[in-house]
Structure 1
Amino acid sequence: MTVTSAPEADLLRRQDPELADVLHGELQRQSTTLQLIAAENFTSPAVLAALGSPLANKYAEGYPGSRYHGGCEMVDVAERIAVDRAKALFGAGHANVQSHSGSSAMLAAYAALLRPGDTVLALGLTHGGHLTHGSPVNFSGRWFDFVGYGVDAETGLIDYEQVRALARAHRPKAVVCGSIAYPRHLDYAHFRAIADEVGAFLIADAAHPMGLVAGGAAPSPVPYADIVCATTHKVLRGPRGGMLLCGQELAERVDRAVFPFTQGGAQMNTVAAKAVAFGEAATPAFEVYAHQVVANARVLAAGLAAEGLAVTTGGTDTHLIVADPAPMGVDGRDARGRLAAAGVVVDCCVLPHGDTRGLRLGTAALTTQGMGEREMARVAALLAAVVRDEPGARRAREEVRELAGAFPPYPG
C-alpha cells in the first residue's frame, strides 16, 4: 500500500516541488520516529484516498435532502452512509458527522443545550480538562460559568463525591465528563445519576476513548449522556474531525447547533473519510486492534514505572499514559526535548495538584504500525534511558530508526 500514487506524486513534484518536499519530509518524519502523542494515529490508505477525492470540491451547506447548493446528489449519499455507520457502530439514535473538530463538536453541544452565563461543571483544567471545559482563553470560559471538579491527590482518580457535592452546591445546567489526560475508564452511570439529581444535562467529551468504545475495549457513554462529543481521529483512526451522538429528542437541536449556528458548509471529503473509518471500525480486525492498544499501554505504563517514572493512577485502562519524570531528576519539558532529539515524539501536560508538567503518551499509532507488548517493553526502556542520559540521545536515535523501520506506517 502507498500513501499517494506515483502519478499524483509526480504531478505534485512537477507543479509545486516546494510543497512536495514538505509532504515527503513529513512522511519521512513519521516513518523514522516513534509517534507516542495520545491524540494522533495513522489513517488507512482508504481514508487518505477519500480525503483526496473530488468530494473536496463540493460545497454542501445544510443536510442530505436539504442543501443550499445544487449538485449534492452524491455527497448526500456519502453523508447518509457516514451517519448510518456512526449510529450502528455506537448504538446512537442520531449522529451528526459534520463537525470540523472535537472542539467545534463541543461548541455545538453547548449551543444546543445552554445559553451564555449558564453554569457548567467539568473536570478542572489542571486535572486533565480540555480547553473547551472552561479555559479562560477559550469560548467556553468566556461564555459560561465553569466550576471544576478534580482528582484525588493520592490515587489520581476522579472524586465522585466531590463531583456530587459541587453539583448540589452550584446546580449546573450541564455536567461534562471527559478528559485529555485521565487514563482510567469513566463511570458514566455515576455521572448520569449526579446530573439527574440536580436536573442537569450530561455531556460526554469522549474524544480520546471513542475508538476504544468502537472496538469494545472501553465502556460507552452513549446510553448515559444526553450528547456525546468525539473526534474521528485518535484511536478511531479516521480523518481529523469531530462528531456528535444523541437521541432523537435532541437531534434537531444538535443539527441546528452545528449548521447554521456554529459552522458553514461541511467538508464533504472529510465526511466521506469518516464513513470509511466507521466502516473499518466495525470489523473484527479493529476490535482486535482496540484491545491491543490497551494491552500495549498497560505494558508501556508498567515498564515506565519499573524504570523510575511516576505513572499517575498507577497505570491505565486506555491508550493514555501520564508519567512524571521528576523522580529521575528531569521535568516534563526537558524530558520531552531529550526524547524529541532521539526521535520519540510525546506531549507534556500539567500534573494534578501542582504546577509541574509530566509526559502524556499514547499507544494508538505504534499499535497501528503492528507493534505489540514486546516492542512496548523495549520502548519503555529506551524512553527511560533517553530521559536519564541526554548525551545518549544520539545512540538512541539509531535504535529508534531501527524500530520504526521494522514497522513502517505505510509499507511500500
Structure 2
Amino acid sequence: MRSERTHAVGRPAKQLRSRSFCRSGQEEEEETFSRKRMNSFDREGGHCTEMAMVCLTDFEEYAKEHLSKATWDYYAAGADDCCTRDDNLLAFKRIRLRPRILRDVSVSDTRTTVQGMEISFPVGVAPTAFHCLAWHEGEVATARAAESVNTCYITSTYSTCSVEEIAAAAPGGYRWFQLYVYRDRKLSELIVQRVESLGYKALVLTVDVPYTGKRRNDIRNQFKLPPHLKVKNFEGMFQQETGAPEEYGIPANTLDPSISWKDVSWLQSITRLPVIIKGILTKEDAELAVEHGVQGVIVSNHGGRQLDGGPASIDALSEIVDAVQGRIEVYVDGGIRTGSDVLKALALGARCVFIGRPVVWGLAYKGEEGVREVLQILNDEFRLSMTLSGCRNVGEINRNLIQVSKL
C-alpha cells in the first residue's frame, strides 16, 4: 500500500444515512446522522460542523446509536458475564512498548505476506456473520473494501450474501473461507467444493463452537434474522419441517459437537487448499495442530462469545508462538482497536491480526467506504506506531519491543 492516503483519516464525516435491516423485520430503515456528531457550531458561519471519524471508537459509537438494539446487542455480545470479551481489550492496554530512538524511519513499509500472498498491511478482516444487518449490501461491501486496500477477507459461513455473490463483487480480492464441520459431512464437502471453484485461497476451520455460547442479551431479545434475510450459503440445502428447532433459519442440530482431530485430517483429504485452525488458545493444541499438518492457526476466543473466563487472545499468543517454533504461521484476533495493538501483536509473534466488530461498525457507518476507512485508519495508526518504535518495516518488529516486566 502506498504511504499516502486515498481518504484522509481526520476528514469530516459526511451527513449520510445509515441503513439497518433489523427493525422488527422491517425493510430498510433510514435514520439521519446522529446529533452527537453534529454538536459543534460555527459561530461566524452560523452553521453546524461535523466531528471527524478519527479512530475506531468513533465508528463504534455511531453504530451503537444507529443500529437497532437487537442488532447492536448481537454484534456486541459476549458469553455470560462478558469477562473474556472485555479482557480482550484490557489485555492490550496492559502491554507496554520499548521504543528505540535515532533510527532512520523516513521511509516505512507496512507490507507483509500471509500464506505466501502479499497484503498491504498486517490487518485482515475476521469472519463475522450477518453483515446485511448493518448495511444493505452486507458482505459484498466488505469484500470490496478489503479488495480496495489489498488485504485478506475471511468470509463467514453465516454470510447474508452467498460465496458466489462475494466472489463476483470483488474478483481480485484475496479471500479465505471460514468453515464449520457439520453432522452431515456431505454438507461441509459441498461448501468446500464451491469455495475452491470460486478461487478462495484457504479454509479456516473454526473449532471452538461445539455448542453456541450463552449470550444473554440475544436470549432476552429473542434474536433472529428478519424474514427478508437468509444465511445465503445454505439456501436450498435443508428441508426444514415446520416448527422444528432452528438457529438463524438453519436446523438447530446442524453443527457436530463430536468434531475431533480426525476431522482435521478428513478435511485435508477433501481439499487442495491450506487449512488454518481458528480457536487455538493453548500450546498443547498448537502442537497438535502442527502435528496434523495445518498451515496456520488463529489464536482466538471467538470475540469472547463462547467460553467466558478463558484467556484474552493476546495473552495466549506468546505461548502458542513458542510452541509452533516458526513451523506454521500464527495469527490472532480479538480486542484489536488501535495501530499500537497491531504492533504489540506482531511483536509477540503474530504474522497478522484480524478484526471483526470494527468492520461491522464501518459497515453501519457508510458501507464499503466505512469499512475502507476503518482499515485505512488502522493502517495509518500501525505505520505511525511502528515508526515511533524505531521500526521501518514488519521484519524489524520483534519481542525486544515489549516490556517483559509488564506482561
- Judge same fold: TM > 0.5, yes or no: no
- TM-score, normalised by the number of residues in structure 1: 0.23
The alignment's TM-score, normalised by the length of structure 2, stands at: 0.23
